[in-house]
Amino acid sequence: MSGRKAKGFFLFAAISMFLISLMFVHASFKEKNSMPSLEEKRKIVKELELTDLCLFTDARYTRHPSMADLNTPFQDHPMSLEHFPSGAIMPPSSHLMKNEMD
């Protein structure tokens, strides 16, 4: 009986690996097909000088993370607490963390 369980497991593992490989093949084809559209969008963003995607609408330091500094959440008072939910969800921008570590 343990031989049947092992065969079932190996069959399940083989089918799973096949499906995962199909997902990678599909992603590769999808990326190649969408490349012209992405290039067109990249040109539009460069021409219009657009900034980052607006992720949240409540606080300006969460709307455009690349434009914020570390002191922006505390602009009202140095000891003020974070009162916007998005500020607790979103980590600081990567360029801010690099400057802090130097």
Record the pTM. Answer: 0.41
Show the DSSP H helices in the chain as ranges: 2-48, 60-63, 85-89, 94-101
Condensed to tens digits (0 to 9), the pLDDT of residues 10-27 reads 999 999 999 999 999 999
Average pLDDT over residues 38-55: 81
**What residues contact 57, with CB distance under 8 A and at least 6 apart?**
63
Cα–Cα distance for residue pair 92/66, rounded to 1 Å:
9
Cα–Cα distance for residue pair 72/80, rounded to 1 Å:
11
